[in-house]
A and B are shown apart, each in its own frame.
Chain A
């Protein structure tokens, strides 16, 4: 069980925990957090592969992680903004009720 595998397994676990959160939680904000978690799992992968990858000096892993964190932050901000707007409009953050976008 090489350290890389360990980290990958950990990130896979993190990812599936985030996915479980997204799929099961009723509150929109917690779903958003679940998504954040999944993104972080991806970041962990980046850093793990950077650390145990063939060419650590290239710093691509780190760069990717940094940019990913930036984007995740932006996404979180906009997501929460939207959730607030939805709440103001429909007075609820319960995803099961927010199903007007349907066929």
Chain B
């Protein structure tokens, strides 16, 4: 075992340690906190780099995977074991998380400079980074789950950072609860897995739950509806992933999570945390794809089919809703939802490498977009509604340039990072054996993505600057912006623009590591030798052309509606709204999903609460009261019985006895003559008796 594998635990431990130390620091130790967090992140980044190089040097095949397990605690005569693993998947994720995290840390120094709770913010960030790294390196589902929970906690803390603002607190609570539902399913799956395989370690020298022996055991048994156990467990764990990655049913918390500070959104709700769900599915991919030997290797199992369909629906849904949003961060949130849908679909149809490639690229350009939005908000002193912005091109040229690179990468403009990764997914979807529908949904989604990104671009950066004289409700504005005053928007300082530039560079260049021409990334993940060949490129060429056509179509539509005539009046209805007011309002309210949930689950909850309260108040309390009254009555009865019957009876008995004894004692009154009289009478009787006998 190499040094790096054994000491891999340092990567998550350092940020957590930094978080802990910062937690003890006082509010005014701002510089100390920031520097400590960034330092720990940097060291983790270098360690990850070392690990990445080590994995590269290992070569290919099964030996690529190295894990280190240790006994955690003993219950009964069994030892519960935990451990961490270093394989290409881990290496890539480590690299991505640490690098993006580092950039976000640097960015947030500038962004949060004016905030009072600066140190607390960095403490939470460090804690979050450590937990995320923990999830990545975990070789045991249990350790993964633990870090998973800490990640959920930190997301709650960070979303609700400005807890004074009630909307932020509500959003944090909502995020926490929704992910909690998913985690519950995840936990059930984990428990079921443990009960079946007896261990939670992924790779334990052949005995791990993801290894061949355990998988065959899981596959052979079937549960309800004929599903194999592996499928059941996989689906349960997928629910956890869906919750965390904001898939369709459990996505409602993601848009509301924008209440948190923008670096948070960038780091957590774009790059890392939401990606954790996808990483989890990638990690347990062998379980998902396990099937009885009779089926051919490539036929997708039921679990993967479910992943695919959920991914496709989420992608389409996210894209549709993003079109009708006014808040700059809310648009990006829905776009993240849509992209996560793409990733899930990629995993479902293409396999681990396809999904992971899009994840990595998405992490970079989405965090770029968020940070860009952050600097815009920072510049416009807290203004978030795109209708109040406009023409910022002149005021913030650097942010505008970086933002456009991110936007083009997101839309999948040819040769940008997004284009390659999204194309891989669409290619895999097109080649999907079962149905072609996911491909069409994906294509339409790509079109919509291009459309709403151009809409946003034109609203924010292009056109006349129609900032209102006085910004309406201050309440929900960020407190930082308020002190900023109302002078004209200005470019963000260097500490904020520098990460933007770095990210922009990556957003553009990252795609080339996984092109069909030289699929290094895919082979690296699959552990094969990368071969430079034109065959796959030529095969994928037509599909690439189709997707680029869609992108251009989207851009054109966007320019048609918003670019041609600059938006004069911020109050005027949106262009799309004029065309289709009804559909627009539906989209704007995200298909009324929140309202649906409120109407159903929340109301059910309240009713249940009322019912419980009523039940408790009347039934249980009543029962207790009646029982106590019963006991009281019983006691009173017993007392009554005791006094009147027992005592009275006993006294009466005693009196009769004493009276009887008194009368009897008269017989023995001590008068001798009395006795003698009696003897005389006895004599008489005796004589009579004798005579009577004699005469008879």
Q: How far is the CA of A101 from the CA of B669 in the complex (A)?
A: 8
Contact of B673 among A23, A100, A101, A102 (CB under 8 A): A23
Q: Do A95 and B665 touch across chains, with their CB atoms under 8 A apart?
A: no
B663 to chain A, nearest CB (A): 11
- Per-residue CB contact flags for chain A residues 27-67 toward chain B (1 = under 8 Å, else 0) read 00001000000000000000000000000000000000000
Chain B hits for A22, CB < 8 A? 673, 676
Q: Do B667 and A103 touch across chains, with their CB atoms under 8 A apart?
A: yes
Q: Do B669 and A102 touch across chains, with their CB atoms under 8 A apart?
A: yes
Q: Do B670 and A99 touch across chains, with their CB atoms under 8 A apart?
A: yes
Chain B hits for A78, CB < 8 A? none
- Given A23-B680, A103-B665, do A31 and B672 touch, yes or no (CB 8 Å)? yes
A80 at the interface (CB under 8 A from B): no
- Given A19-B680, A23-B680, do A99 and B665 touch, yes or no (CB 8 Å)? no
Q: How far is the CA of A31 from the CA of B672 in the complex (A)?
A: 10
A82 at the interface (CB under 8 A from B): no
Chain A hits for B676, CB < 8 A? 19, 22-23
- Per-residue CB contact flags for chain A residues 61-103 toward chain B (1 = under 8 Å, else 0) read 0000000000000000000000000000000000110111111
Q: How far is the CA of A24 from the CA of B664 in the complex (A)?
A: 23
Chain A hits for B664, CB < 8 A? 103
Chain A hits for B665, CB < 8 A? 102-103
Q: How far is the CA of A49 from the CA of B128 in the complex (A)?
A: 138
B296 at the interface (CB under 8 A from A): no
Q: How far is the CA of A23 from the CA of B669 in the complex (A)?
A: 15
Interface centre among A24, A98, A103 (most CB of B within 10 A): A103
Q: Do A100 and B672 touch across chains, with their CB atoms under 8 A apart?
A: no
A25 to chain B, nearest CB (A): 8
Q: How far is the CA of A99 from the CA of B674 in the complex (A)?
A: 11
Q: How far is the CA of A95 from the CA of B673 in the complex (A)?
A: 8
**Which residue from chain B places its CB closest to the CB of A20 in the assembled complex?**
B680
Q: How far is the CA of A103 from the CA of B675 in the complex (A)?
A: 13
Q: Which of B488-543 contact A (CB under 8 A)?
A: none
- Per-residue CB contact flags for chain B residues 650-677 toward chain A (1 = under 8 Å, else 0) read 0000000000000011011111110011
- Per-residue CB contact flags for chain B residues 673-695 toward chain A (1 = under 8 Å, else 0) read 10011001000000000000000
- Per-residue CB contact flags for chain B residues 1-24 toward chain A (1 = under 8 Å, else 0) read 000000000000000000000000
Q: Do B668 and A95 touch across chains, with their CB atoms under 8 A apart?
A: no
- Given A103-B664, A103-B665, A103-B667, do A95 and B680 touch, yes or no (CB 8 Å)? no
Q: Do B667 and A98 touch across chains, with their CB atoms under 8 A apart?
A: no
Q: Do A99 and B669 touch across chains, with their CB atoms under 8 A apart?
A: yes
**Which residue from chain B places its CB closest to the CB of A34 in the assembled complex?**
B676
Q: How far is the CA of A98 from the CA of B675 in the complex (A)?
A: 13
**Which residue from chain B places its CB closest to the CB of A101 in the assembled complex?**
B670
**Which residue from chain A places its CB closest to the CB of B665 in the assembled complex?**
A103
Q: How far is the CA of A99 from the CA of B671 in the complex (A)?
A: 5
A30 to chain B, nearest CB (A): 12
Q: How far is the CA of A90 from the CA of B677 in the complex (A)?
A: 24
Chain A hits for B670, CB < 8 A? 98-103
**Which residue from chain A places its CB closest to the CB of B673 in the assembled complex?**
A23
Q: Do B672 and A95 touch across chains, with their CB atoms under 8 A apart?
A: yes
Q: How far is the CA of A24 from the CA of B676 in the complex (A)?
A: 10
Q: Do A103 and B668 touch across chains, with their CB atoms under 8 A apart?
A: yes
B395 to chain A, nearest CB (A): 127
Chain B hits for A24, CB < 8 A? 673
**Which residue from chain A places its CB closest to the CB of B677 in the assembled complex?**
A23
A23 to chain B, nearest CB (A): 5
Chain B hits for A102, CB < 8 A? 665, 668-671
Chain A hits for B667, CB < 8 A? 103
- Given A102-B665, A103-B665, do A96 and B680 touch, yes or no (CB 8 Å)? no
Chain B hits for A99, CB < 8 A? 669-671
Q: How far is the CA of A103 from the CA of B665 in the complex (A)?
A: 5
Q: How far is the CA of A95 from the CA of B677 in the complex (A)?
A: 14
**Which residue from chain B places its CB closest to the CB of A35 in the assembled complex?**
B676
A94 to chain B, nearest CB (A): 11
Q: How far is the CA of A103 from the CA of B676 in the complex (A)?
A: 16
A55 to chain B, nearest CB (A): 22
**Which residue from chain B places its CB closest to the CB of A19 in the assembled complex?**
B680
Q: Do B680 and A98 touch across chains, with their CB atoms under 8 A apart?
A: no
Chain B hits for A19, CB < 8 A? 676, 680
Q: Which of A1-36 contact B (CB under 8 A)?
A: 19, 22-24, 31
**Which residue from chain B places its CB closest to the CB of A24 in the assembled complex?**
B673
Q: How far is the CA of A19 from the CA of B681 in the complex (A)?
A: 11
Q: How far is the CA of A28 from the CA of B694 in the complex (A)?
A: 38
B669 to chain A, nearest CB (A): 5
Chain B hits for A96, CB < 8 A? 671
- A residues sitting closer than 8 Å to B (CB atoms) are 19, 22-24, 31, 95-96, 98-103
- B residues sitting closer than 8 Å to A (CB atoms) are 664-665, 667-673, 676-677, 680
Q: List 15 A-B contacts (CB under 8 A).
A: A22-B673, A22-B676, A23-B673, A23-B677, A31-B672, A95-B671, A95-B672, A98-B670, A99-B670, A99-B671, A100-B670, A102-B671, A103-B664, A103-B667, A103-B668
Having A99-B670, A102-B669, A103-B664, one finds 20 other A-B pairs with CB under 8 Å, namely: A19-B676, A22-B676, A23-B673, A23-B676, A23-B677, A24-B673, A31-B672, A31-B673, A95-B671, A95-B673, A98-B670, A99-B669, A99-B671, A100-B670, A102-B665, A102-B670, A103-B665, A103-B667, A103-B669, A103-B670
Which 4 residue pairs are nearest across A and B when measured between Cβ atoms?
Answer: A102-B670, A99-B670, A103-B668, A103-B665
